[in-house]
Amino acid sequence: MAGTAAAGRYVGQSVKRLEDPRLVTGHGRYVDDIALPGMLHAAFGRSDLARAAITQLDTTAAEALEGVRAVFTGADLNPHNDSLRASLYPPTSPAPPANMLADGDVRFVGDPYVMVVAESRYIAEDALDLVEAEFEPLDPVVDYETAADSEHHVHPELGGNLAHDVAVPNPTQQEAFENAAHIITETWHQHRQTNVPMETRGIVASWQPHAGVMEVWASSQSPHEMQLVGARVLGIGEHKMVVHFGDVGGGFGQKMFLGREDMAVLVAAKLLASPLKWIEDRRENLMASNHARIEQMAVSMAVDGDGCFLAADLDQLEDDGAYPLGGPATPGAMAAMLFPGPYRMGPVSWRARTVYTNTCGRGAYRGPWQMESVAREQMIDRVAREVGMDPLELRRRNVLRPGDLPYEAPTGLSFETTISPEQTLEQAAEMIGYDEFRAEQAEAREQGRYLGLGMALYIEPTSMGMGPLGTESAMLRVEVDGSVNVFMGTGSHGQSLETTMAQLVADELGVRPEDVTLHQGHGSGYGFGTGGSRSAVIAGGAARAAASGVRDKVVAIAAHLMEASADDLEVADGVISVRGTPAASMTMAQVAATAYQNSDALPAGMDAGLEHTARYKAPPSTHSNACHMCVCELDPGTGKVSLLRYVVSEDCGVLINPMVVDGQIAGGVAQGIGGVLYEHCVYDESGNPLASTFLDYLVPTAAEVPELETGHVVVPSDTPGGHKGTGEGGAIGAPPAVFNAVADALAPFGAYPNRQPLDPDTVLGLIASASD
Amino acid sequence: MADQKSLSMTVNGRTRRGRGEPRLTLADFLREQALCTGVHVGCEHGVCGSCTVLMDGEAVRSCLLFAVQADGADITTVEGLAPDPETLHPVQEAFRDCHGLQCGFCTPGFILSVAAFLEANPDPTDDEIRHGIAGNLCRCTGYQGIVAATRQAAAAMRAGE
């Protein structure tokens, strides 16, 4: 099945990144590198209590400190806040009260209730110490499992803690259960984690009072979300909101939407008519930016005597925290709908609930509904164990095969013929040497060593083509000298779009990648930005269409000037030549100079200039798929888990840049490894975050992440170029694969893990309780 | 406010003079007064390593040092590593060749840490590389390209000597 699409001259090559010369020499420009004349600095005072009434707030002493320009409370800023909703969140849905700063009460540890603006960050933080605030502690809602029944309400305005409750029962599911040979039930828990971009959030806002223009530099994945929502917050038109896009130090979902602090900085910068900078510190990032993956799914699966899946029943519960970043979402519904994944699952009933708690708000984190894969893949391993079948064999028995496609999943999703779950399953099994491993594992157990193999197979809906997410645009201009500028609504923050979009344009237009510069932010057309594994397909589709439009004109002009037939011309590396007669040629620069500076020489009736704007609308979903397999060794004396091998077989369609694809997968895998084994945003029962530094929140290092082996199955999608999204996949497949490996290593002890993290204490506890 | 101290240090071969309170961190001095914005501040508590610079040839965390502690020192930031505007340092070249960076934020710290590591251990094993760079955090790459880049840079630097 591999390699059916033709690679281009540059597409398909591991072209070295155009971003790198500036980034490896320290010449990137991140938001904290912006310094404007007269720029002031903001710092936020944040609640130390999970839930409390503010009984006194006196800012007099803080305001009196030399170098302090202003101190804002909720009463000062919140009157400006009637339109803070993120683009993806429908205005009619229930939501927490919209505010930038807490006013009257605080609702989680880290809730900002005061903002100091001063001549330096040092002075701003000094002034925070002078703010006199008193609080009357209230009982917090910390445990999300009991939040819905709590008499205490996170948001009293809403009258309860239940944010969403959606149920879709399926009567045929119940029938299938009645006749099943096996019904297996387990509740799978993920635990609170956070995105941890190495660059924290930050913004610089500069208001031009008489012009009514706001100029913004922000660490953002979505410059147009900043432009649109920022303009709404300020009550100005988008044409007066100038959002510059520089280098962005990672996001993983955290920088898709504006945070309350971003909005506070915008409003304060306007009130003060002075440039204002806020850079989040790491403690703020870890305790108050956004958390994710705080969820559980109770799964019951019915299986027949041959191990064929018959039906499933799902009950998903997720913690939204207090102020979910980007609005209260219903990822649980997506998780349930995606649960059947790459298998013939039979009918599925599901319920999904989300609750508010007095904790840091939930936000998107790479694969925001990956609970579908976590719960399903861990469940399949459990089913295999219960019915006494090899987990690979069980998957083989149920996986969607090419003959099953196209496939309508029982939860309403449609899979096109261009997915390849069975092929990736087999490729991964071959890469890891599945049968050989099982022999090695048995031998090791005899020697007292505990090895485990875990696998996970999934399908990811990428590049969703609906609502605000549906389209991207590219405005492409060949300059007079033949070089190319392309303006796009993306927000590349590590995805290498300056390179990959240049590769697409280079092939489509007939230039070299280094002749193309990608511009993002101000001047580009609306697009939702970079996230949701959407840029390759949707932004790529726009880049191709824009380049193709210009190429047609280039060829028409060259044919006219060279007195050749357009059909006989080819364009490559900036040279237009007559096929088979390379001597008859002209350069892109000659064509461009004619188009702009000698337009009388153009074909009759042709418009001058050499530019084209295109907008690509994506299909509802372009599915990518992958299979992860990994091997771990567990030390029963210390509980330590070490990963020995990690294999990924993936199908993201035609690879634009294999080096970049492998890099995206590796990063996601490392995050999944960290999530299962090391990372945990711990709260105590009073709602105090206990992991607010990197000494407590353990991001994996090079010593914990093994070498990654990647295999590619290439089944081109039906979208232009045949690409599929791949940014999130690593972080979707890795958690269940790592979890299943540890569970497999624990099996000889009779232990049945059902929750993360699988840190040494937990592993030792599982071994001890199993032997009791 | 505390007294301002005058400061003088060599940064990338040039003398940089400035002033600051005793609490001014070296990272902030380098970024704001020496204008070396390649010094990236990722955690301000000495764990992530993004702010790593070379002080008298040794890798240090500039967020954990006060500028006054570096008074008179010889500092190299990532801006000072490439020998000339057309040529990259072998470590920089290797990071580009091996896709050792994505967002680029941790990269200056990694490059300086690797440069110092290879100075001390010019021919490391893969295991030594993984542990040698475990004091720096990257959230994008899963370290695959960084380990490969360190391997390539080690070979290039050995060949260049």
**Higher-confidence position of A86 and A562:** A562
Instruction: Quickly count helices (H) and strands (E) in chain A.
Output: 19, 28
DSSP three-state, residue A679: coil
By Cβ distance, the residue of B39, B50, B144 closest to A198 is B50
As a whole number, mean pLDDT of residues A545-559 equals: 98
Nearest CA-CA partner of A673 in A713, A638, A650, A644: A644
- Helices A760-771 and A729-746: crossing angle, nearest 10°? 40
Which two three-digit tokens encode residue A629? 């397999």
Give B102→chain A minimum CA distance, Å.
Answer: 4
Per-residue model confidence (pLDDT) at position A91 = 67
pLDDT band at A311 (very low <50, low <70, confident <90, very high): very high
What pLDDT digit, counting tens, does each position of A128-166 carry? Answer: 999 999 999 999 999 999 999 999 999 999 999 999 999
Q: Which residue of A has its CA nearest to B147?
A: A702
Per-residue model confidence (pLDDT) at position A735 = 98
What pLDDT digit, counting tens, does each position of A93-116 carry? Answer: 678 887 999 999 999 999 999 999
pLDDT band at A5 (very low <50, low <70, confident <90, very high): very low
Which two three-digit tokens encode residue B87? 């040529």
Cβ A686 vs Cβ A422: under 8 Å: no
Per-residue model confidence (pLDDT) at position A82 = 60
As a whole number, mean pLDDT of residues A527-549 equals: 97
Q: A247 pLDDT exceeds 70?
A: yes
Rounded-to-integer distance, Cα A771 and Cα A643, Å: 25
Does the predicted interface ipTM exceed a cut of 0.95? yes
Q: Which residue of A has its CA nearest to B94?
A: A24
Domain with CATH 3.30.365.10 in chain A: 20-26+466-617, 295-463+621-771
Per-residue model confidence (pLDDT) at position A67 = 98
By Cβ distance, the residue of B38, B129, B142 closest to A666 is B142
Q: A6 pLDDT exceeds 70?
A: no
Nearest CA-CA partner of A144 in A299, A354, A315: A354
Q: Which residue of B has its CA nearest to A21?
A: B96
pLDDT band at A516 (very low <50, low <70, confident <90, very high): very high
DSSP three-state, residue A43: strand
What pLDDT digit, counting tens, does each position of A657-684 carry? Answer: 999 999 999 999 999 999 999 999 999 9
Q: B92 pLDDT exceeds 60?
A: yes
Please list every residue in chain A whose beta carbon sits closer than 8 Å to the beta carbon of residue B101.
20, 23-24
Rounded-to-integer distance, Cα A7 and Cα A655, Å: 9
As a whole number, mean pLDDT of residues A389-418 equals: 95
Burial of residue A389, with CB atoms counted within 10 A of its CB: 0-12 exposed, 13-18 middle, 19 or more buried: middle
Task: Please give the mean pLDDT across all residues of chain A.
Answer: 95
Nearest CA-CA partner of A101 in A256, A281, A323: A323
Which two three-digit tokens encode residue B102? 């994505």
Rounded-to-integer distance, Cα A377 and Cα A375, Å: 6
| Percent of residues, chain A, with pLDDT higher than 90 | 93
Q: Which of A126-135, A183-192, A206-215, A763-772 is the least confident region?
A: A763-772
Beta-carbon separation of A693 and B134 below 8 A: no
As a whole number, mean pLDDT of residues A265-283 equals: 97
Give B72→chain A minimum CA distance, Å.
Answer: 23
pLDDT band at A528 (very low <50, low <70, confident <90, very high): very high
What pLDDT digit, counting tens, does each position of A15-53 carry? Answer: 999 999 999 999 999 999 999 999 999 999 999 999 999
Q: A87 pLDDT exceeds 90?
A: no
Q: A2 pLDDT exceeds 50?
A: no
By Cβ distance, the residue of B92, B138, B143 closest to A198 is B138
Cβ B120 vs Cβ B54: under 8 Å: no
Per-residue model confidence (pLDDT) at position A410 = 87
By Cβ distance, the residue of B42, B79, B146 closest to A25 is B79
As a whole number, mean pLDDT of residues A471-477 equals: 98
Q: Which residue of A has its CA nearest to B40?
A: A199
Q: Which of A67-81, A383-397, A689-703, B22-36 is the least confident region?
A: A67-81
pLDDT band at A1 (very low <50, low <70, confident <90, very high): very low
CATH 1.10.10.10, applies to A34-138+199-249+255-288: no
3-state DSSP of A136-183 = EECCCCCCCCCHHHCCCCCCHHHCCCEEEEEEECCHHHHHHHHCCCEE
Give me the residue label for tokens 């399953």. Answer: A425
pLDDT band at A602 (very low <50, low <70, confident <90, very high): very high
Per-residue model confidence (pLDDT) at position A580 = 87
- Which residues are within 8 A (CB) of A27 and not within 5 positions of it... i.e. 6 or more apart? B38, B79
DSSP chain B: -PPPEEEEEEETTEEEEEEE-TT-BHHHIIIIIS--TTS--S-SSSSS-TTEEEETTEEEETTSSBGGGGTT-EEE-GGGTSSBTTB--HHHHHHHHTT--SS-SSHHHHHHHHHHHHHH-SS--HHHHHHHTTTS--SSSTTHHHHHHHHHHHHHHHHH-
CA distances from A139 to A45, A358, A566, B2, B114 (A): 21, 10, 76, 41, 50
Please list every residue in chain A whose beta carbon sits closer than 8 Å to the beta carbon of residue B77.
26
Give A228→chain B minimum CA distance, Å.
Answer: 25
As a whole number, mean pLDDT of residues A353-379 equals: 97
Domain with CATH 3.90.1170.50 in chain A: 34-138+199-249+255-288
Which two three-digit tokens encode residue A428? 């991964």
| Percent of residues, chain A, with pLDDT higher than 70 | 98
Characterize the bridge pairing of strands A414-415 and A407-408: antiparallel
Cβ A34 vs Cβ A243: under 8 Å: no
Per-residue model confidence (pLDDT) at position A92 = 66
Which two three-digit tokens encode residue A83? 């339109």
Q: A233 pLDDT exceeds 70?
A: yes
Cβ A331 vs Cβ A115: under 8 Å: no
**Higher-confidence position of A460 and A88:** A460
Give A20→chain B minimum CA distance, Å.
Answer: 6
pLDDT band at A334 (very low <50, low <70, confident <90, very high): confident
CB contact A119 to B (< 8 Å): no
What pLDDT digit, counting tens, does each position of A727-771 carry? Answer: 999 999 999 999 999 999 999 999 999 999 999 999 999 999 998
CATH of region A20-26+466-617: 3.30.365.10
Chain A segment 91-110 residues within 8 A of B by beta carbon are: none
Spell out the domains of chain B, with CATH numbers in brackets. Answer: 5-79 (3.10.20.30), 90-160 (1.10.150.120)
Beta-carbon separation of B38 and A28 below 8 A: yes
Beta-carbon separation of B36 and A26 below 8 A: yes
- How far does chain A reach from its first CA to its final CA, in angstroms? 50
Nearest CA-CA partner of A112 in A86, A150, A168, A74: A74
> What residues pair up with A520 in beta bridges, in sequence order?
A488
Q: A3 pLDDT exceeds 50?
A: no
Amino acid letter, A513:
P
Fold exhibited by the domain A295-463+621-771:
Aldehyde Oxidoreductase; domain 4 (3.30.365)
**Higher-confidence position of A133 and B3:** A133
CA distances from A557 to A484, A589, A611 (A): 17, 12, 13
Q: Which of A81-95, A425-439, B50-64 is the least confident region?
A: A81-95
CB contact A199 to B (< 8 Å): yes
- Helices B107-120 and B144-160: crossing angle, nearest 10°? 50
As a whole number, mean pLDDT of residues A373-401 equals: 98
Nearest CA-CA partner of A520 in A722, A225, A278: A225
Q: B52 pLDDT exceeds 80?
A: yes
Using the CB atoms, write b or e for A712-746: b if 16+ within 10 Å.
Answer: bbbbbbebbbbbbbbbbbbbbbbbbbbbbbbbbbb
